[in-house]
Amino acid sequence: MTGSAWIMLLATWSVVGSFTAYFLLKILKKDKS
C-alpha cells in the first residue's frame, strides 16, 4: 500500500471509529445512570 493510501485509511478509520465509540459509550453510560 502507498503512503497516501495508508494516511487516508488510518485518518478515516480513526474518525469513524472514534465517533462510533464515543456515542456508543455515551449511551451505555447514560443507560447505567
32: contact with another protein by CB under 8 A? no
Amino acid at site 2: T
Dist CA 17 CA 5 (whole Å)? 18
19: contact with another protein by CB under 8 A? yes
28: contact with another protein by CB under 8 A? yes
Q: Nearest distance from residue 11's CB to another protein, in Å?
A: 9
Give 16's Cβ-side CA count (13 Å radius): 6
Extract the C-alpha cell encoding 11: 485518518
- In the complex, the residues that contact another protein under the rule CB under 8 A are 1-2, 4-6, 8-9, 12-13, 15-17, 19-20, 23-24, 26-28, 30-31
